[in-house]
Structure 1
Amino acid sequence: MKKTLILFFLLVGFHAVQAQENELTWHTNFEKAMQLSLKEKKPLMLFFTGSDWCGWCIRLQKEVFHKSEFAAWAKDKVILVELDFPRKKQLEPSMQQQNYGLQNALQVRGYPTIWFVTAEKKDDGKINLSQLGSTGYVAGGPEAWLTGANQILANFKKG
């Protein structure tokens, strides 16, 4: 009985650790994400989504973003930012303003759109975004999506 309990707790502990390793932080505050990007010398991955209505966005999350291969890649390569445009829930006005401002700056016309950018804050407080490239939904799961993302990030130079 003792051995069974010990084995049970070991398995539960292993799954909890594994779940934590695969859990990603998706930032919603661009300013904070930008500061982290500069500190860690990683580009930003901006995910423009309609989380509660966009079928392709939901599919991209299920097929790629919720997979362990993506989690391992993202932790090493990028700072994740979700810029949501929901229809059923209301975002705070400051969040809406931020998201629409970035959508306009990057000329996002459809969802999902993922932009890889670097950000620099100028002395006058303005933010300069350098576009590395963009993508969207790619069929084929994490491997296919990550191949394209790695091609975009190939020219990124850590400052």
Structure 2
Amino acid sequence: MGKIAGGANDGFGIVASGGSLVQGDHVKKRRLILFAVAASGFLYAPVGTAAPGWLDDYKKAQQEAKSSNKLLLLDFTGSDWCGFCIQLDKEIFSQPDFKEYANKNLVLLEVDFPRPGGSRWQAQATAVKKQNQALAQQYQVQGFPTLVILDGDGQKLWQFDGYFPGGTEALLAQLEKLRKS
């Protein structure tokens, strides 16, 4: 014999004695499942692959550098696997002094080569992957990290391969020297 689960107007229906759903609440259950599936897409949706404050579109970065009369810093990185890249980000790029200087004087482009199959790699657009390969060839990048500084017209002013020694202060001094030249 069945029993009534819930009140008359609460959307629940008759439940068979074995506990299986017979009528009524299947519509709400279906809506709940659809909502859960849709919401889970937001939880796992890829976010932009570039770090906050960094661009990943070379053409956009070049245009911004030219229009704002700033230098363009290209950071060739393996953001999720390269130890020295992670260290460079933590010890220099994430520091308040660097962020303040960059905000006033630089356009930042992250040229990322994340671990294949990893979440950053999966989230990275195919066009960005192709662009990054072309940039690595153009600037003959042999390892990570590699920093390249361009002027607003796209002319290379400086390139450094490896972890930059001396911390934020040393890098800012180098950038300021380039900016004034």
Deviates more, 1:72-81 or 1:49-58: 72-81
Call closer, same or farther: CA 1:153–1:134 in 2, change over 3 Å: farther
Question: What residue number does 1:85 align with?
Answer: 113
Deviation at 1:98, TM superposition (A): 0.5
- TM-score, with structure 2 as normaliser: 0.64
2:99 aligned with 1:46? no
2:177 is matched with which residue?
151
User: Structure 1: any 5+ residue segments left out of the alignment?
Assistant: 1-22, 121-128
Contact 1:43 1:78 in 2 (8 A): yes
Deviations 1:25-56 (CA, angstroms, capped at 9, x unpaired): 20001111111111101121000000010000
Match of 1:142 in 2: 168
Matched residue of 2:151: which SS? strand
2:149 to 89, 105, 116: 116
Q: Percent identity?
A: 37
Q: How far apart in 1 are the matches of 2:84 and 2:177?
A: 22
Structure richer in strand, relative to its length: 1
Highest RCO, 1 vs 2 (Cα 8 Å, sep ≥ 6): 1
How far apart, in 1, do the equivalents of 2:111 and 2:94 lie?
17
Correspondence for 1:59 among 57, 68, 87: 87
Q: Which amino acid aligns with 2:167?
A: G
SS for the counterpart of 1:94 is helix
The RMSD of aligned alpha carbons is 1.8
Q: Does 1:104 align with 2:137?
A: yes
Structure 2: gaps (5+ residues): 1-50
